[in-house]
Amino acid sequence: MAEDPRLDGLPEAHALALRLTEEGVDEEGIATRLGIPVEAVAPLVRLATAKASRVPLEELDPIEEDTS
């Protein structure tokens, strides 16, 4: 999977949750990896998605962007 440079600007748990979701890991798997209750996974992923969509493009490293 290509690394999304937007994830670099997120807190670690948010980035990891999005990466695992992208990889198709189910909620239980994500909960285990993050050490959180399974019920907290969906809200966390929603929040992480909202944060990722807010990372302005100009903050991204142009070099990484070109090579991603």
Partner 1 sequence: MPVSWPLVGRREELEFIEDALGRPDQGGVVLAGEAGVGKTRLAREATSLADSKGISTAWAAATQSGRTVPFGALAPLLPPALPLSFTQEDVIRSAARAISERFDGRPLIAIDDAHLLDDHSAVLLHHLAQTSDAFVLAAIRSGEPAPDPITALWKDDLCERLEIQALSESDARDLLEAALDGQVDGGTFQRLWAETRGNPLYLREMVLGGLSSGRVVKSHGVWRWDGNLAQSPRLHEMIATRLGDRSAEEKALLETLAAGEPLGVATLENISSRATLGSLEEAGLVIEDLDGRRAVARLAHPLYGEALRAGTSPARLRTTLGALAEDLEASGVRRREDTLRLATWSLESGRETRDEILVAAGGQALGLLDFPLAERLAGGCSDQGMPAGFILAQALMGQGRSEEAESAFARMADSTTSETELLMVTTARAYNLGWTFGELDKAVGVLDEARPLLKDPVMENELLAARAYFLFSFGKPMEAIAAGREIIEFPDPTPRAVASVMGAVGQGLQFTARPLESMELWNRFEAPALEGIKSTPMAPVGPTVIPYWGHYLAGRFEEAAAVAERSYLEALESQAEWVSGFLGCLVGIARRTQGRLGEALRYLREGTARVRRTDVLGQLPVFLGELAQALAADGDVAGAEEALAQSKERRGMVAQRFIDFHVLLGEVTIAVAKGEVSRARQVAAETAEEMRRGDGYAHEALLLHEVARLGDPAAGLERLAWISERSDGALFSALYRNARAMASSDAAELEQVSRDFEEMGALLYAAEAAAEASNAYRSAGRTASAHAAAERTRALMARCENVERVSPVLAAFATPLPLTSREREVASFAARGLSNREIASRLFLSPRTVGNHLHSAYSKLGIEGREQLRAILEPAESPTSSEGTAAPDV
Nearer to partner 1, 14 or 20 (CB): 14
Least distance to partner 1, CB of residue 66, Å: 11
Total Cβ atoms within 10 A of residue 31? 18
In whole angstroms, give the CA distance from residue 22 to residue 27. Answer: 12
Is 32 a binder of partner 1 (CB under 8 A)? no
Nearer to partner 1, 23 or 61 (CB): 61
Is 25 a binder of partner 1 (CB under 8 A)? no
Task: Locate 8 and state its tokens.
Answer: 């670099």
